[in-house]
Amino acid sequence: MDPSQSLNQPPSYDSSENSKMPATAPPAYQPNPAGYPPSFPSQPVPQGPYAQGPCPAQTVVNVQPAVFVMSAQQASPEPDYMCCSIFVMLCCCCPLGLVALIYSCSTRDANYAGQQQLAKRNSTMARTLNHIGLGIGIVIIVIVIVFQTVMRSG
């Protein structure tokens, strides 16, 4: 850089070097560019920040709202034995309690869906598994108590 030039002024450029742009003028303004539909000045402009009317070339179709059909819950739902299943799973016999818990959840789902026969079958199975698990748990607890008593006394 030449030290004789001032720091406040930009360096001078030769304009003949940078004039590689064509010398023709840009095209004239077109009110409707090609590919765009013509505007309709007679139509009212929608008011409001988000107002948008239908396109004049489209027909308006009214759609009926969707109807959801839901079955009513049963008047007397089957018992699901959920609490009993959790108790058997945690305190007596974990495998049978877990299977009984699955049947209890299935009973609850069938009651909610209005399937009375499925709910009755699942409820019966959950009750049966809970009774078997509870019986196994009581037998194991009695055997442990008897074994501990015999070992301490003998």
Q: Indicate the residue type of 151.
A: M
Q: Which residue has the higher pLDDT, 129 or 25?
A: 129
Kindly report the pTM of this predicted structure: 0.52
Q: Who contacts 93 (Cβ-Cβ below 8 Å, separation ≥6)?
A: 132, 133, 134, 136, 137, 140
**Is residue 15's pLDDT more than 70?**
no
| Cα gap 110→118, rounded to integer Å | 6
Query: How far from each other are the two terminal CA atoms of the chain, in whole angstroms?
Result: 110
pLDDT at 90: 95
pLDDT, one tens digit per residue, over 107-153 is 999 999 989 999 999 999 999 999 999 999 999 999 999 999 999 98
Residue type, 44: P
